[in-house]
């Protein structure tokens, strides 16, 4: 039976097939990215800061509460729609993309899964309407070994007191609500780790310096300093001593978001290369007419399509309530490689123009490099995949 003879019920759509609702959502985000984000990319890159008006628009358009339940002011949608938004934004600017990504896939989802009813009622409406979230796990001495964190939490009777320093915190300057991981009992090892909700205005809490980065320069990456920081007793996210579960399971979903960001970067670089090679003339014809260039563009297209499939697959599995840990690790690992490879090839296709900041492709390459580092390095993704496939 040919594909054209299959009935509607017998036809299984490809992972890249979108429902009408998903298509409309993608189109609306692309319109926003092209109309509002693109004109600001260069100025934000030079200022190393997100445009405050753009942040406001992200909230007004509902991009900061995609999965948050409707009762808390969100869209009550899926992680699949969240990654569509992240992908489309990264196609234009990776900094805006990761701003939206961290708020949704790490912060909002952690509140949704681990927050008490009281915590959800208090914070989710705020995070849907105007208060930015950040996720504070990393420290100077705890990166891949996240549970080696040294930030300490002490039970003071009527409140918790936090002391320590966090590093590499995305959205650090914009955020007002932070999920901070600290250890209440170092003798218990990782079983002492607890997740706390810290607001920017809490006594003893300070946002430190902003890092001067290679890429995603408009995204703020900062240190956080806690000196006898007072946190209300009720501001524990999940259970005391179970912060390790909060961190692991939240990051598993967050990796799909990073995969979508890398996918968007690759797509944006590819589209630039496709357009430029059609316009650039050498030897009396466009360089796109040469088979050597055509083959390079074809290779880029193949890599991007494969990256899209593994990313969408991980998101579809998550939405279906099926195991997705291996698939999320594969997606993040592979898309980070594709983003770097495709953006690098785009620079080469631009020739000397690709190496200067007057043209867009060098930025895509700089933005791509972080994909192999944050929310779990490539080596950590390989370790995760290896453990799963060898444990059967």
Residue 5, in any domain of the structure: no
Which of 131, 161, 184 finishes a domain?
A: 131
**What residues have CB less than 8 Å from 121, skipping those under 6 apart?**
72
Q: Which DSSP helix (H) or strand (E) runs through 168?
A: strand 159-170
For residues 268 and 189, membership in a common domain is answered with no
What distance in Å separates the CA atoms of residue 140 and residue 149, rounded to the nearest whole number? 9
Please indicate, yes or no, if residue 8 is contained in any of the structural domains.
no
204 inside domain: yes
Residue 331: the pLDDT is 98
Residues 120 and 186 in one domain: no
Is 353 found in the same domain as 220? no
Do 273 and 381 belong together in one domain? yes
pLDDT tens digits in sequence order for the chain, 392 residues long: 333 343 334 434 456 789 999 999 999 999 999 999 999 999 999 999 999 999 999 999 999 999 999 999 999 999 999 999 999 999 999 999 999 999 999 999 999 999 999 999 999 999 999 999 999 999 999 989 988 999 999 999 999 999 999 999 999 999 999 999 999 999 999 999 999 999 999 999 999 999 999 999 999 999 999 999 999 999 999 999 999 999 999 999 999 999 999 999 999 999 999 999 999 999 999 999 999 999 999 999 999 999 999 999 999 999 999 999 999 999 999 999 999 999 999 999 999 999 999 999 999 999 999 999 999 999 999 999 999 999 96
CATH number at residue 56: 1.10.540.10
Last residue of a domain, one of 241, 263, 298: 241
How far is residue 341 from each of residues 23, 262, 332, 337, measured CA to CA in Å? Answer: 28, 11, 14, 6
Residues 263-306 have pLDDT tens digits of 999 999 999 999 999 999 999 999 999 999 999 999 999 999 99
Same domain, 282 and 237: no
How crowded is residue 126: how many other Cβ atoms within 10 Å of its Cβ?
16
CA angle 306, 308, 313 (to 5 degrees): 100
Cβ neighbours of residue 190 closer than 8 Å, sequence gap 6 or more: 147, 244
Give the domain range for residue 79. Answer: 13-131
Same domain, 251 and 380: yes
Residue 7: inside a domain, yes or no? no
Q: What is the pLDDT of residue 77?
A: 98
Asked if the structure places residue 59 within a domain, the reply is yes
Catalytic residue among 174, 327, 362, 375: 375
Instruction: Check residue 5 and give its pLDDT.
Output: 41
What CATH number corresponds to the domain at position 234? Answer: 2.40.110.10
3-state class (DSSP) for residue 150: coil
Radius of gyration of the chain measured on its C-alpha atoms: 22
The single residue listed with the structure tokens 């895509």 is 364
328 lies in a domain?
yes
CATH number of the domain residue 360 falls in: 1.20.140.10
| C-alpha count within 13 angstroms, C-beta hemisphere, residue 335 | 33
Longest Cα separation, the chain = 79
**Is the CB of residue 179 less than 8 Å from the CB of residue 224?**
no
Global pTM reads 0.95
Q: Are residues 235 and 267 located together in one domain of the fold? A: no
Please check whether residue 255 lies inside any domain of the structure: yes
Residue 81 contacts residue 22 (beta carbons within 8 Å): yes
Same domain, 373 and 270: yes
Residue 79, token pair as written in the block: 């992680």
375 classed as catalytic: yes
| Whether residue 252 is found in the same domain as residue 184 | no
Answer yes or no: is 1 within a domain.
no
| 117 and 31 in a common domain | yes
Express each pLDDT in 175-217 by its tens digit. Answer: 999 999 999 999 999 999 999 999 999 999 999 999 999 999 9
Left, alpha or beta for 157 (phi > 0: left; psi -120 to 50: alpha)? left
**Structurally, how many domains does the chain consist of?**
3
Domain match, 225 and 115 both = no
Same domain, 125 and 23: yes
Picking from 107, 131, 155, the residue at the C-terminal end of a domain is: 131
């Amino acid at each position: 039976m040919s594909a054209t003879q299959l009935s509607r019920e017998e036809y299984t759509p490809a992972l890249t097939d979108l429902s009408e609702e998903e298509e409309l959502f993608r189109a609306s985000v692309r319109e926003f990215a092209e109309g509002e984000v693109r004109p600001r990319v260069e100025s934000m890159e030079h200022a190393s800061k997100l445009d405050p008006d753009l942040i406001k628009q992200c909230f007004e358009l509902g991009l900061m509460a995609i999965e948050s339940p409707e009762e808390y002011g969100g869209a009550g949608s899926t992680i699949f729609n969240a990654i569509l938004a992240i992908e489309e934004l990264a196609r234009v600017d990776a900094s805006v993309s990761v701003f939206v990504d961290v708020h949704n896939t790490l912060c909002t989802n952690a509140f949704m899964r681990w927050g008490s009813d009281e915590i959800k009622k208090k914070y989710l409406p705020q995070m849907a309407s105007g208060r930015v979230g950040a996720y504070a796990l990393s420290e100077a001495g705890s990166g891949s070994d996240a549970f080696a964190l040294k930030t300490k939490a002490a039970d003071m009777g009527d409140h918790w007191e936090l002391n320590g320093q966090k590093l590499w915190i995305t959205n650090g300057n914009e955020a007002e609500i932070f999920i901070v991981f600290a250890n209440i009992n170092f003798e218990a090892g990782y079983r002492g780790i607890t997740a706390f909700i810290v607001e920017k205005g809490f006594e003893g809490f300070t946002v430190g310096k902003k890092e001067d980065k290679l890429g995603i320069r408009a995204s703020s990456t900062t240190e956080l300093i806690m000196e006898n920081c007072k946190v209300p007793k009720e501001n524990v996210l999940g259970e005391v001593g179970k912060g390790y579960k909060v961190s692991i399971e939240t990051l598993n979903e967050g990796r799909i978001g990073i995969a979508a960001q890398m996918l968007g970067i690759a797509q944006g670089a590819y589209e630039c290369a496709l357009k430029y090679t059609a316009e650039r003339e050498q030897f009396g014809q466009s360089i796109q007419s040469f088979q050597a260039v055509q083959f390079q563009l074809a290779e880029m297209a193949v890599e991007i399509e494969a990256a899209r499939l593994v990313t969408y697959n991980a998101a579809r599995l998550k939405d279906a309530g099926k195991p997705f840990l291996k698939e999320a690790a594969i997606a993040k690992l592979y898309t980070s490689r594709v983003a770097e490879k495709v953006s690098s090839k785009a620079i080469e296709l631009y020739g000397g123009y690709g190496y200067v900041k007057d043209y867009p492709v060098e930025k895509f390459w700089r933005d791509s490099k972080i994909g192999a580092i944050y929310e779990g390095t490539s080596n950590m993704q390989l370790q995760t995949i290896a453990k799963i496939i060898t444990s059967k």
